[in-house]
Structure 1
Amino acid sequence: MAANIRKLVVQVDETMTEMGRAVQPPTRRALAMAVIENPCAGRYVEALDELIAIGEELGGLLGKRCVEALGIAPEQAQSYGKAAIVGEAGELEHAAAILHPKLGAPLRQAVSRGAALVPSSKKQGGVGSAIDVPLGHKDAAFVRSHFDAMEARVADAPRANEIVVAVVVTDSGRPLPRVGGLQSHEIKGEDGLR
């Protein structure tokens, strides 16, 4: 089943200076959100296959929108994350069904590979609720310079019977990273960790 999308929101956050220092090149994060109807709202549903299929659809759509917003080739994407806010007539498990079983594979395709787990968060909330989308390097989870988050919020969502699904893709790590650890150029790409 295709997602019943009420609204798509895409935005880019670009940091050019930090603490009076130039950030070269600027760090950029793209956020794509879909406000969708929750087909399971208001009732208990044992098998959440419908939401799992929607997650698969949105992983590709939102990942592609982020890459396009950054104006990069998929292989230039460096980190990613996902999140969902379920409206009050839904339950937290609805967000889990969208985010976990199948959203990751098409998102990885949109960013060319992605060996590391996709960091995620979920919550239940009302109209205008915000959620932090956690970020990590797409190919090596131990790259500290890419531990970050981006706030996602849609002013008029989620309504009671809706879910806000968010994906963030970056073309860089944090501005001026300096806490050590594995560096991007040291990634071996063997296990999704290093």
Structure 2
Amino acid sequence: MSPDNLGIRKIVFYSEEILSENGQAPAVTAVRATAAAVVANPWLGGKPSDDLSPEVMKLAPVLARKLTNVLAAELGGVDAIEAFGKAAIVGTAGEIEHGAALIHTPFFGNLVREFFEGESIICFADDRGDAGSNLVVPLWHKNAAATRTHYQTISTRVGDAPLPGEIVVVLGASTGPRPHSRIGDRLTDPAVKADTIGELIS
């Protein structure tokens, strides 16, 4: 099915390379990026009881393939991508559920994991807003979600989207960790409880 038939208006790529943090170069220079697809909302005018799945099954896999292809091509291939995340901004004429339908089902998430050779659940954000709305996309390690080094975010926006009848679907990725990450790992943390914390900090 062609992009015209699916209502995809455009795809926008954004990236940033972190060269310095607190005046010092990080041990690993990472590139964070987003690929965003602007698509017509196929559910406008519907009822809260409507089944969204027919359109999800047609559109979500196409978005997963297109956005992963863009990020892999721009970031040096699937092997270079270490962290990922997803997000959606729904235009003001739509429901938050419309964005959720495109990013929170296996027709998007499972395919993104497969295409990026990841295992982690994909962290996410969704919102409703006007054209040009900023969205903070959370990222974490694609194979080790408990690894705090890769907990990071990237902010993204599309200047002319979403229009009221559109949805912006965003996929984010990073080629490395946060600069100077040094707060440990969830898997090696001590057991911290309110009644024992005094023993840990005394």
Q: State the alpha-carbon separation in 2 of the partners of residues 181 and 93 from structure 1.
A: 33
Q: State the alpha-carbon separation in 1 of the partners of residues 153 and 128 from structure 2.
A: 19
1:116·1:138 contact (CA, 8 Å) conserved in 2? Answer: yes
2:12 partner letter:
V
Q: Give the CA deviation at 1:52.
A: 4.4
Match of 2:21 in 1: 18
Matches within 5 A, 1:2-17: 3-17=6-20
Match of 1:55 in 2: 60
Of 70, 90, 93, the residue aligned with 2:94 is 90
Structure 2 SS opposite 1:55: helix
Match of 1:192 in 2: none
Bigger fraction of residues in strand: 1
Bigger fraction of residues in helix: 2
Of 31, 37, 42, the residue aligned with 1:39 is 42
Q: State the alpha-carbon separation in 1 of the partners of residues 123 and 60 from structure 2.
A: 15
1:13 partner letter:
E
- 1:99-129 Cα offsets, whole Å, 9 max, x none, are 1112112212331x21110001111111111
Structure 2 SS opposite 1:17: coil
Q: Give the CA deviation at 1:5.
A: 1.1
Q: State the alpha-carbon separation in 1 of the partners of residues 161 and 47 from structure 2.
A: 22
1:15·1:175 contact (CA, 8 Å) conserved in 2? Answer: yes
Structure 2 length normalisation: TM-score? 0.84
- 1:80-106 Cα offsets, whole Å, 9 max, x none, are 000000011110111111011121122
Of 67, 73, 83, the residue aligned with 1:68 is 73
2:65 partner letter:
G
Q: Give the CA deviation at 1:48.
A: 0.6
Point out the more displaced range, 58-67 or 101-110.
101-110
Q: Give the CA deviation at 1:137.
A: 0.5
- 1:146-177 Cα offsets, whole Å, 9 max, x none, are 11111121011100100000001111011111
Identity %: 36
CA RMSD of the aligned region, Å? 1.7
Question: Residues 150 and 132 of structure 1: is their aligned pair in 2 closer, same or farther, counting only changes over 3 Å?
Answer: same
Q: State the alpha-carbon separation in 1 of the partners of residues 77 and 11 from structure 2.
A: 22
Moved over 6 A (4+): none
Match of 1:119 in 2: 123
Q: How many residues align?
A: 181
Larger radius of gyration: 2
Q: Does 1:132 align with 2:141?
A: no
Structure 2 SS opposite 1:117: coil
Q: Does 1:28 align with 2:28?
A: no
